[in-house]
Amino acid sequence: MTIIVTGGAGFIGGNYIYYHLKAHPEDRVICLDKLTYAGNLSTLSAVMNYPNFRFVKLDICDREGVYRLFEEEKPDVVINFAAESHVDRSIENPSVFLQTNIIGTSVLMDACRKYGIQRFHQVGTDEVYGDLPLDRPDLFFTEETPIHTSSPYSSSKASADLLVMAYHRTYGLPVTISRCSNNYGPYQFPEKLIPLMIINALHDKPLPVYGEGLNVRDWLYVEDHCKAIDLIVRNGKVGEVYNVGGHNEMRNIDIVKLIVYALDKSEDLISFVTDRKGHDLRYAIDPTKIHNALGWLPETKFEDGIKKTIAWYLENQSWWKEIISGEYQKYYQRMYANR
């Protein structure tokens, strides 16, 4: 099987490529990535010379380039991880989110229609369901929960999901969608909560917690997400949406404190800052469908996953030091200096 993985130089796509090459060494894997600020070739350095791996620097919005690649590689499967993925950046400047997340997805699906495909899998997010109240722990997102977005990011991802289902109904494109909760693990870009707090704590820099830190996220170790996607692509039903999450809800403040203790730092580093605009209160996935239909269950407990993740950031400082030495500093100043 030949598989195109878009956005494979990013966090989840990179982890997926490692997972796939190990689980299915007989497959040919092509990574298509524009290498935006969030894409890092160093993430893929260990597989770059594999004979069944190819990296192509390309924008998913570049129709000609995408068609050329499909012509050359004749992929059986496309998994679309490529996206602008950070909510705070979408609040600052929505337009690139609309371009990549919506237009880019449609270009990929047009290529799938033109050249034929066994499966187009869209990596979606639980943020398309909006948020749940903090005082209703009995409520969860199911696949039937109405789309109700809060940020330009989640709106662009919801638009992409709607287009994916429209291409299925209108053109019969064999699609699936997964909607996952917050991922954590190796290679996550330092703008996101967990790596940002680990790296700031290591530098004894303030740990900027939005609002009162009471917002809840449902954390899943990235490898468990990769396994779910692989299962959906192989055994999932065409035209279906699968929610992915492991019932691991935590308040932001508790995550930050856990990192502070793990690194033997002081809680005095915690700094409560102005809240994110439109900040979603709580995400919580009901994974019953993927469990019943495909037998998926998360394998990594949060206590183990967070230890592995912190250890990875301690052992791979050159990976993130390279990132935070450049453009990231300007981003950090813009986002946090006067907050």
Which positions are catalytic?
126-127, 153
Q: Tell me the Ramachandran region of residue 35: left when phi exceeds 0, alpha when psi lies from -120 to 50, beta otherwise.
A: left
Among 121, 157, 168, 227, binds ligand NAD (CB under 6 A): 157
Nearer to ligand DAU among residue 47 and residue 255 (C-beta)? 255
Among 3, 33, 69, 298, binds ligand NAD (CB under 6 A): 33
Nearer to ligand NAD among residue 157 and residue 282 (C-beta)? 157
82 binds ligand NAD per the rule CB under 6 A: yes
> DSSP code of 124?
E
Burial of 212 (0-12, 13-18, 19+ CB in 10 A): exposed
What sign results for the dihedral spanned by CA atoms 181, 174, 144, 166?
positive
Residues paired with residue 216 on neighbouring β-strands, in sequence order? 251, 282
Spell out the residues 6+ positions from residue 131 whose beta carbon is closer than 8 angstroms to its own: 150, 280, 281, 282, 283
Q: For residue 276, give the nearest of 190, 333, 193 by alpha carbon.
A: 193
83 binds ligand NAD per the rule CB under 6 A: yes
Q: What's the min distance (Å) between Cβ of 103 and ligand NAD?
A: 9
Task: Please choose which of ligand NAD, ligand DAU, none residue 215 contacts, taking the beta carbon within 5 to 8 angstroms, the exact cut-off set by kind.
Answer: ligand DAU
Distance separating alpha carbons of residues 264 and 260, to the nearest angstrom: 6
Residue nearest to ligand DAU (CB): 125
Q: What's the min distance (Å) between Cβ of 60 and ligand NAD?
A: 4
149 binds ligand NAD per the rule CB under 6 A: no
Stretch (H or E) spanning 63: helix 63-73
Give the binding site for ligand NAD (CB under 6 A): 6-7, 9-13, 33-36, 38-39, 59-61, 81-85, 100, 104, 123, 125, 157, 180, 182-183, 189
